[in-house]
Amino acid sequence: MKKYKVGVIGATGMVGQRFVTLINQHPWFELTEVAASSRSAGRPYSEAVSGRWLMQSPLPDAVGRLIVKCAETDIDEIASNVDFVFSAVDMKKNEIQALEEAYARHECPVVSNNSAHRWTDDVPMVVPEINPEHLEIITAQRARLGTKRGFIAVKSNCSLQSYVPALHPLKDEFKLSKALVCTYQAISGAGKTFETFPDIVDNVIPYIGGEEEKSEQEPLKLWGTIEDGKIVKASSPSITAQCFRVACSDGHMAAVFASFDKKPSKDEILDRWANFSGLPQKLQLPSAPKQFIHYFDEADRPQTKLDRNLENGMAVSVGRLREDTQYDYKFVCLSHNTLRGAAGGAVLLAELLCAQGYMD
Ligand SMILES: NC(=O)c1ccc[n+]([C@@H]2O[C@H](COP(=O)([O-])OP(=O)(O)OC[C@H]3O[C@@H](n4cnc5c(N)ncnc54)[C@H](OP(=O)(O)O)[C@@H]3O)[C@@H](O)[C@H]2O)c1
């Protein structure tokens, strides 16, 4: 298979560093461009991230020698040197929308970690195991942008990457009617470490700006349908969420309560989870977990620290399935927020786009 030349915009940040690390060891991708703000531009990448390299693996030498470009002013050069870019910039929403669209209009596909375009009608927001068919909207988006290759595709918010996979294989067959979720989210989701966020030690903060709305609404876009060149969100199930920041470095956990119009048995739920497999598994994409949903029988699992790295942080862990007194069932879900929930999920999406010919 040919190697795709890849750039990362926002490469010096926490998510950008995760992209750089994943691309560096990727069988299909070769990192050729790194870009960030004008503060970092013009310097070797090693110098631009000096004192703020947050990954556990050391910075690869060859990557360290790449000269950081300015994501905003060097678009021409970057777009002509890559097959596509990953976006992980931290800017105002309208600035990110304009920047990502500028890359797309330069015929450079953008796979974005950012939320800015998640509600743009013709931008697919995809969890590859759940709604790969939404990529078909790219044809309509290209027509709007007037591009041949260029488009934007995004991944969904990290909070929902644990419970939506568990609800998905049950949703249609058993007619999922409503869900209540409480999430317990790691500090890396705020771009923080224990050193930079001392207030979280011995603490729980019951507020994450914008997160509850995303947790309630984004699943409905994932479960939506394409109509007249737009993705129309699903009208059900109804989801209510509370999102808390907890003193964990990585890993978002969710306590889930769910009710169905056709209540399944516990064995039926366990069977659907065990046998759920999506297009990434069928295509054997390099970052796809072999078993997307792992169920733990132990009463005290999954645990954030023990289970977040399952299948390189790309699988979802589920446990404690039991009947509830007010909803039909309750259970616990866990996923790695910066791997499956951020850069890893975007890399898997890019693999799917390559496998389906969108990057050619
Ligand atoms: N952390 C997570 O787990 C997570 C999960 C989901 C989504 N997100 C989202 O992903 C994005 C990145 O998050 P992060 O935690 O990696 O942020 P971060 O560590 O603050 O990094 C931000 C990146 O954006 C660049 N940047 C800032 N202003 C810019 C500008 N005007 N032009 C070009 N580049 C600019 C920075 O470059 P300099 O180094 O040159 O300043 C840096 O590379 C954010 O939008 C965040 O909301 C994060």
Residues 131 and 106 reside in one and the same domain? yes
Q: Residue 253 falls within a domain, yes or no?
A: yes
Q: Residue 60 falls within a domain, yes or no?
A: yes
In angstroms, the CA 179 to CA 93 distance is: 29
Residues 126 and 174 reside in one and the same domain? no
Residues 117 and 174 reside in one and the same domain? no
Tell me the CATH number at 217: 3.30.360.10
Give Cβ neighbours of residue 119 (< 8 Å, ≥ 6 apart): 221
Sequential pLDDT tens for the chain (360 residues): 679 999 999 999 989 999 999 999 999 999 999 999 999 999 999 999 999 999 989 999 999 999 999 999 999 999 999 999 999 999 999 999 999 999 999 999 999 999 999 999 999 999 999 999 999 999 999 999 999 999 999 999 999 999 999 999 999 999 999 999 999 999 999 989 999 999 999 999 999 999 999 999 999 999 999 999 999 999 999 999 999 999 999 999 999 999 999 999 999 999 999 999 999 999 999 999 999 999 999 999 999 999 999 999 999 999 999 999 999 999 999 999 999 999 999 999 999 999 999 999
Q: Residue 260 falls within a domain, yes or no?
A: yes
Residues 20 and 139 reside in one and the same domain? yes
Mutate which of 12, 73, 74, 89 for ligand 1 pocket (most atoms within 8 A of beta carbon): 89
Residues 208 and 62 reside in one and the same domain? no
CA of 14 to the centre of ligand 1 (A): 7
pTM of the model: 0.97
Give me 64's structure tokens: 């360290």
Helix (H) or strand (E) holding 86: strand 84-87
CA of 207 to the centre of ligand 1 (A): 21
Q: Give nearest CA residue, ligand 1 atom 2.
A: 189
Query: Do 154 and 141 touch, CB atoms closer than 8 A?
Result: no
Residues 312 and 168 reside in one and the same domain? yes
Residues 143 and 263 reside in one and the same domain? no
In angstroms, the CA 195 to CA 340 distance is: 24
Q: Give nearest CA residue, ligand 1 atom 30.
A: 37
CA of 10 to the centre of ligand 1 (A): 6
Q: Residue 360 falls within a domain, yes or no?
A: no
| Number of domains composing the chain | 2
Domain interval for residue 23:
4-157+343-355
Report the DSSP pairing between strands 252-260 and 329-335: antiparallel
Residues 142 and 172 reside in one and the same domain? no
Tell me the CATH number at 12: 3.40.50.720
- At 223 the pLDDT is 98
Residue 338 CA, closest ligand 1 atom number:
3
Cβ–ligand 1 contact at 338 (below 6 Å)? yes
Q: Residue 207 falls within a domain, yes or no?
A: yes
Residues 52 and 68 reside in one and the same domain? yes
Question: Annotated catalytic sites, by residue?
Answer: 158, 252
- At 2 the pLDDT is 78
Q: Residue 144 falls within a domain, yes or no?
A: yes
Give Cβ neighbours of residue 267 (< 8 Å, ≥ 6 apart): none
Residues 315 and 225 reside in one and the same domain? yes
Q: Residue 317 falls within a domain, yes or no?
A: yes
Cβ–ligand 1 contact at 90 (below 6 Å)? yes
Integer angstrom CA distances of residue 314 from 92, 244, 269? 29, 22, 21
Residues 169 and 259 reside in one and the same domain? yes
Alpha helices by DSSP H, the chain: 14-24, 45-48, 61-65, 75-81, 93-105, 138-145, 163-171, 211-222, 266-275, 279-282, 304-307, 310-313, 344-355
Residues 217 and 311 reside in one and the same domain? yes
- At 151 the pLDDT is 98
Cβ–ligand 1 contact at 71 (below 6 Å)? yes
